[in-house]
Amino acid sequence: MPGDGGHLAPRTVVGVDTQHSAAGSPAARTDRVERSAVKVIAHRGSSAALPEHTEEAYRRALEEGADGLECDVRVTADGQLVCVHDRTVARTSDGRGTVSTMTLAQLSALDFGSWKHPQEPRRSSVLTLERLLELVADAGRRVELAIETKHPVRYAGRVEAELLRVLDRFGLLPAAPEESTVRVMSFSELALHRVRRAAPAVPRVYLWERRLPVLGRTRSLPGGAAVAGPGIELVRRNPGLVTALRRAGHPVHVWTVDRPEDVELCLELGVAALITNRPAEVLAQLGR
């Protein structure tokens, strides 16, 4: 997921003024959810403390009690799914290059850990999606997975095809959406349509950062997504958006929620899941 979005002019979505239906209004107060009911999802692992998308960061998130883990996936040159956010490896490793033009062996030769704390460098290898799924399988409890497919990319629909293949191998393709511990997220409507066609029971999350969604008469989200995934900056500036989405029947999962005041805002608005870099702190704020 990218950074926070920019300001938008007030708009109406499903008949609700998204700019002025503030969290303090009577309608918003009735939407408030119980603290214990809100899911806490670790964004790229416990990534405020440890290098994002590393096994170490995800292990920490599981130890801290996160309800779920979020990751981004990209396809390597030899068809492997790796957990890397950026198109290139420059920001989060000691190497250079584009993920899609590198093999898994080439990526595995890089250090994806030491950039986070250069004074105390700790080497970490690139994390494959399969290894992350193994960690979840060994957790000994229910752990949800929120997997984002990145677009645009060199291999287009191959990302979703490979993702569904791996999920099937791990027995994670559900018979019905309510049975699933996995959901696929994307900013790309086309990507969500691919998932819908190939595996309709896998829940889909439509992500957006700057542009407010326009829900038509069917009150549906792009890509047939059931779940809405707005960025926190958009929610701050348009709090009625969450109310509108919930009234249209869409659970709302907000990213990236790290500030205590943003946690409280999301609780007031009835958000179902908080995607955060700081799972331990958010869980403590929720009294868990």
CATH code at 162? 3.20.20.190
Q: Is residue 51 part of a domain?
A: yes
Under-70 pLDDT residues of the chain: 3-30, 213-218
Q: Are 131 and 168 in contact (CB under 8 A)?
A: no
Model confidence pLDDT, tens digit, residues 70-124? 999 999 999 999 999 999 999 999 999 999 999 999 999 999 999 999 999 999 9
- The verdict on whether 7 is a catalytic residue reads no
Per-residue pLDDT, 6: 34
Q: Is residue 275 part of a domain?
A: yes
Number of domains in the chain: 1
Q: Is residue 126 part of a domain?
A: no
Per-residue pLDDT, 29: 46
What is the extent of the structural domain holding 56? 12-73+146-285
> Cβ contacts of residue 138 below 8 Å, gap of 6+?
none
Which among 43, 53, 250, 253 is annotated as catalytic? 43
Closest CA to 265 of 228, 229, 239: 239
- The verdict on whether 85 is a catalytic residue reads yes
- Alpha-carbon distance of 278 to 107, in angstroms, equals 27
Strands 227-230 and 253-255, sheet pairing: unpaired
Model confidence pLDDT, tens digit, residues 259-287? 999 999 999 999 999 999 999 999 999 99
Q: Is residue 82 part of a domain?
A: no
Q: Is residue 100 part of a domain?
A: no
Which among 85, 193, 250, 253 is annotated as catalytic? 85
Q: How far, in whole angstroms, is CA 8 from its chain's centroid?
A: 22
Per-residue pLDDT, 219: 79
**Is pTM beyond 0.85 here?**
yes
- Alpha-carbon distance of 88 to 95, in angstroms, equals 9
> Cβ contacts of residue 235 below 8 Å, gap of 6+?
241, 242, 254, 265, 266, 269, 271
Per-residue pLDDT, 217: 59
Per-residue pLDDT, 65: 99
Q: Is residue 4 part of a domain?
A: no
Q: Is residue 188 part of a domain?
A: yes
Rg of the chain, C-alpha, whole Å: 18
Strands 81-82 and 68-75, sheet pairing: antiparallel
Residue with tokens 């416990």: 46
Q: Is residue 114 part of a domain?
A: no
